[in-house]
Amino acid sequence: MNVEVLLLHPAVPFIVGALLMPFVRNIRLQQTFCVVIPIAAFVMIYNLPASAPTVCYLGLQLHVLRVDTLSFLFLHVFCLMALIGALYSLHVREPDHHCAAFLYVAGSLGVVLSGDYLTLFVCWELMAIASTLLIVQRRTRESLAAGFRYLLIHVAGGLSLFAGIMIKYAHSGSLSFVPIAPAAAGPADILIMIGFMLNAAVPPLHAWLADAYPEATVTGAVYLCAFTTKTAVYALCRAFSGFEVLTLLGAGMALFGVCFAIVENNIRRILAYHIISQVGYMVCGIGIGTDMAVNGACSHAYAHIIYKALLFMGAGCVLEMTGKQKLTELGGLYRYMPYSFLFTVIGGISISGFPLTSGFVSKSMVTVAAAEVHRAVIFMILMLASIGTFLSVGIKLPYFVWFGKPAEVPAREAPWNMRCAMTLAAVICLGIGCYPQLLYRMLPHPVLYQPYTMTHLSEALQLLGFTGLGFYLLAKKLAPRDVIHLDFDWLYRRLARLFMRLCRNPLQGIDTALGELSHRAGLQHLMAAARFCAGFDLQRLDRYIDGAARQVLVCGERVRTLHTGNIQHYIGAALMLLFLLLVLGVFS
């Protein structure tokens, strides 16, 4: 194995950090580790070789360091997000959290750099296990149940991915992770795409996200919102660009997510549904498959990771300081948490596509790509999703959390490290919005798009203005209600209950009846046969075998008497035997 190649991998600092963190007891040293490790990985991605040699393992050629413009873009934002997440969680003293977070980031970097399906699958499963730990470490009954469901669903997705990889390897003899032409896709490719789509939370395989992310730890949710769905977006972009089914599913995701977000009450559940919606833009762009669309999907993935993390950090500050995360239990917090309020608003206007924010220069590339290929219906769906995004996250969430009717909730400003992480994310959101070339120069295809045109500015301001007017007129109708909204997970749970009932009643009864029948009928005949075999063994086989053994023993005793121990006896016997042989030879 080529060890030098592995040492160049930016996931190595995170793996080493995860292994050492349990032994670091000094809090200051632990905090230093949390910051230095992402910075080291960030430096390493700028020194990766353009063409790294393969690693030979068990006779397989593994490509663990495939570096191109597409992988570098995701490496860049993942390392940047790891630094933001580390800053945000500096106050966390449990080493288990930092270990899980580091392994989660390491798995994500491994997926992005993998050039073969075996490396990708190993890193994929590492992500699933590490992200589950970030959910269950909240240590509540709800988080444990959500983490268990999360793990089951991702294991099922991993099985689909693994089955596709094995079928593909059996047919082609290759594990190369390369683009697949839509016309050449077979059953193995479909299974692989299903595994990717589950991690991308494509409906109806999406319910795990809205179920688990609101139950994660405050800092764990910041990591979760950035890596799982975006690695899936990267994998789909790498292998399945141009698949028409992704265009339709992506547009449906964009509208589906905002519909649930508008009626939700839990602030982190609102943001979770918006992950589904915003990833829908990316999946749609990948499905369209043009250079503009793929650039839009990648740029929106980069921007979304930062502003969604900013929103989750703001929601986490509210939860950390008040212990509440429902809109009906909050209100008037801007007086006590002004910095958190400011940064959350920046995240809200970024996801809504306000000018001078990252969402404005990234999201519009996908809608423009849909218009360029004359997909009017897709274009209209994406525009409707933009309206819903601003309505739910840009207006409704900030209004009922920071303004609205003041709630009697004791609150104070978040710790300094949380504010520092939010400051960094907010600066990036505004920096990309003001200087889009900072992002555009990293995109996989040449960019021939100018976001700041009069047409685009007029369109965005009209949508945002009329959406704000609509909220003002319908504020009472849009007021949050503390109710439970059913999603596709209701169907999963109902089917699981039916399955358990089927197992308890008819199947368990059939198993019991077969057991009784075997005991009463089959066991008696089996015991009779066993007794017959035992009698035959004792009375037949043992008699002859033991008798032969006794005869051998008697012969041995007789021969033993001939051994006197006197050498003259042996010489005499030998001479007599020689004489006898000579006599027999003469007469014969």
Alpha carbon of 280 to those of 143, 230, 254, 306: distances in Å? 26, 11, 5, 17
> For 276-287, what is each residue's pLDDT tens digit?
999 999 999 999
Neighbours of 20 (CB within 10 A): 15
Position 569 confidence tier, pLDDT thresholds 50, 70, 90: low
Mean of pLDDT values over 471-481: 80
Position 565 confidence tier, pLDDT thresholds 50, 70, 90: low
HSE-CB at 438 with a 13 A cutoff on CA atoms is 17
CA dihedral sign, ordered 149, 150, 154, 155 = negative
Residue of 365, 343, 370 whose CA lies nearest to 353: 365
Phi/psi for 411 (5° steps) reads: -150, 155
Mean of pLDDT values over 25-33: 88
HSE-CB at 51 with a 13 A cutoff on CA atoms is 0
Cis amide leading into 506 (omega within 30): no
CA dihedral sign, ordered 151, 157, 160, 166 = negative
pTM summary value:
0.84
Q: What is the pLDDT of residue 526?
A: 74
> For 344-392, what is each residue's pLDDT tens digit?
999 999 999 899 999 999 988 999 999 888 788 999 999 999 998 998 8
Residue 165, amino acid: I
Residue of 45, 41, 64 whose CA lies nearest to 53: 64
Question: Of all residues in the chain, what percent carry a pLDDT higher than 90?
Answer: 51
> For 223-269, what is each residue's pLDDT tens digit?
999 999 999 999 999 999 999 999 999 999 999 999 999 888 899 99
Mean of pLDDT values over 72-81: 95
Q: What is the pLDDT of residue 64?
A: 84
> For 489-541, what is each residue's pLDDT tens digit?
777 777 777 877 777 777 777 777 777 776 666 666 777 777 777 776 666 66
> For 317-351, what is each residue's pLDDT tens digit?
999 888 888 888 888 888 889 999 999 999 999 99
Q: What is the pLDDT of residue 474?
A: 79
* Summary mean pLDDT of the chain: 87
Alpha carbon of 497 to those of 487, 491, 494, 502: distances in Å? 16, 10, 5, 8
Mean of pLDDT values over 458-482: 84
Q: What is the pLDDT of residue 434?
A: 93
HSE-CB at 410 with a 13 A cutoff on CA atoms is 0
Q: Does residue 1 have a pLDDT over 60?
A: no
Q: Does residue 559 have a pLDDT over 70?
A: no
* Higher-confidence position of 187 and 62: 187
> For 436-467, what is each residue's pLDDT tens digit?
999 999 999 998 889 998 988 888 888 888 88
Q: What is the pLDDT of residue 578?
A: 76
